[in-house]
Amino acid sequence: MSKKIKGLFLSALMILSFSTSAFAVSEATALFLLINPGARAGGMGEAFMGIADDATGLYYNPASIGFFRNTRFHFMHSNWLPQLADDLFYDYFAGTYYVDGVGTFGANITYLNLGDQIRTNEFGQEEGTFTSYNFAANLAYAYQFSERQTLGVGMKLVWMKLADDQSVGNETTKGSAKTLAVDIGYMHKDFLTKDLTFGASIANIGPKVTFNDKDQADPLPTNLKLGFGYKVVEDRFNKLTFLYDVNRQLVKANKVDTVFTATDTTVTGGEKDPVYKAIFTTWTDDKTLERFVHNVGAEYWYSDLVALRAGYIWDPEGKIEAPTLGFGLKYLQFRFDFGIIITLDSDHPLSNTLRFSLDAQL
């Protein structure tokens, strides 16, 4: 990787280190995969596993769509990290379709625009501009195997374009990389007691991302998520739900040669670790408890027309403590949602990050 591309790559990683209020500290790449979609979840401290009853469930837990019996769509747009840059934006589109007797299928697209960059040659002369972006396309399937339980799986293509490919002499430097990743999930309604929902998922399981040098490849942000949702009130006019999610990245650094090791890692001697190794070895870290990110939230609906939401995000390792607020309006089969992150540090890149989304059930 040339110094120029490497510098751009590191700059993009710095931007993406704030890709979500969770995981402000990470040893992985492709951190845009950790941006939590949906303004609804954004208003509830990004806690959503215990509900996951719209098309954004494809992101939070692929098993959640197994309960769907109609077609659903979701679109979200956000001018991402407005405190850091004014040309970053994030879009998310998802849809699901139920096939009677077979299960529920879903697809979603994630796009993070990293803004325009200036192209220069080996002499430092400007030669126009190009756009850097991250993209992921996911296909998922879920099946309801009992009255209250579902299983789901997703397969995604991940594409990162940080710069245009460049040729200097006989050397070609790649500014983009791609890989595949898998998500798996489980969901259980009326878990242990009535009105309590439990969900679990492991996302972004896959090989490392390589731009030019395989020895400098970085792991995907494999993430374990557990979540609970409890319906405190549910009558004709009022609904109140409390939610709690906890996340932890299953990524581990190699402390011997400082090369990151996670899935599909080359280690001393040229041997390769199995894909699943980091999922288990990461728990031996001295900071295991600090690496858990906690999301709590609440949602109140009046007459299934207006929703008020509030939440809190606590990331001990990333030193992020952020309240969130949101609201929703529903008309017929359409729902509009708004969410905002209000960090305690007004200069934090996530401060005043807004999410807007539109949801439909047909």
pLDDT > 90 fraction of the chain, expressed in percent and rounded: 50
pLDDT value for 163:
74
Nearest to 208 by CA among 222, 228, 187: 222
pLDDT at 359 over 90: yes
pLDDT value for 257:
39
The tens digit of pLDDT for each residue in 60-97 reads 999 999 999 999 999 999 888 777 777 788 999 999 99
Q: Evaluate if pTM is beyond 0.85.
A: no
Answer positive or negative: Cα dihedral of 43, 47, 50, 55.
positive
Q: Show me where the domains of the chain are located.
A: 3-361
pLDDT value for 124:
67
The tens digit of pLDDT for each residue in 173-229 reads 677 888 999 999 999 999 999 999 999 999 999 888 877 667 667 788 899 999 999
Mean pLDDT of the chain: 81
Amino acid at 39: A
pLDDT at 169 over 90: no
Nearest to 61 by CA among 71, 73, 49: 49
For residue 331, give Cα distances in angstroms to 18, 50, 96, 146, 235: 34, 24, 20, 32, 19
d(CA 151, CA 144): 7
**Token pair recorded at residue 13:** 């990683």
d(CA 41, CA 258): 36
Amino acid at 239: K
In the structure, what pLDDT confidence band is assigned to residue 166 with cuts at 50, 70 and 90?
A: low
Q: Which of 162-166, 201-205, 250-254 has the highest mean pLDDT?
A: 201-205
d(CA 94, CA 11): 29
Q: Which CATH superfamily is domain 3-361 in?
A: monomeric porin ompg (2.40.160.40)
The tens digit of pLDDT for each residue in 5-49 reads 444 444 444 444 444 544 445 667 888 899 999 999 999 999 999
Amino acid at 58: L
**Cβ-based neighbours of 81, under 8 Å, separated by 6 or more:** 15, 18, 88, 349, 350, 353
Nearest to 11 by CA among 93, 92, 118, 135: 118
Alpha helices (runs of H) in the chain, residue ranges in sequence order: 3-16, 39-42, 57-60, 277-281
